[in-house]
Structure 1
């Protein structure tokens, strides 16, 4: 069974503010068949971005996307993030107050996305 990379802890989430850093981090994720994750400074706030298309694993099923979307909505309701975009292969959240909080959120969603994907590989749906 493929492992599709490893979830990154908050301290290792790359700062992709500069385009070169973003390209390098995405290329590294792709070369390692891993889910891309990064943070980027946008003005005085931070953005979180995850992209599962950098790896060869399956698309996350709708049931799992619902779990991720619910978590993102909770962050919006508490004003931790102002906007979130959750799709089966891409997640972005922005206007996060601090770099540390962006790292924490990125690491949590990276681990969740990785785990849900591994679960889907182990227990495929009956579609």
Structure 2
């Protein structure tokens, strides 16, 4: 009986933790930007909505995110160690000679902001590559 109670309690706690992780995503804000002399792109994703700005003086265009795409974003987000984001190293350095726009990912969660160092647009660090590619897809639509 004790074993059964312990097993039930463990499952209950694990379920509560995973749903808490999903609930935190409603207040999480992810912002991707790509900036150079000729490029300005900003994508803000928050609570199943994406706001895409293409151009410095352009108004953002809002799009609803369907459940399948949102689930992909949540899955990739959960794989990221937020505390390590500022320490990620860019795999290429084309931005140093105007070979690529400067990309940047900023995540705000629980009133704390985590921001990458600049990296080449299109070549994010491996640790955040899948998430960045999902965010950039909104600018292509």
Q: Which TM-score band (shorter chain)? A: 0.3 to 0.5
TM (normalized to structure 1)? 0.33
Whose strand fraction is larger, Structure 1's or Structure 2's? 2
Query: Radius of gyration: which is bigger?
Result: 2
Length-normalised TM-score, structure 2:
0.31
Report which structure shows greater RCO (CA 8 Å, sep ≥6).
1
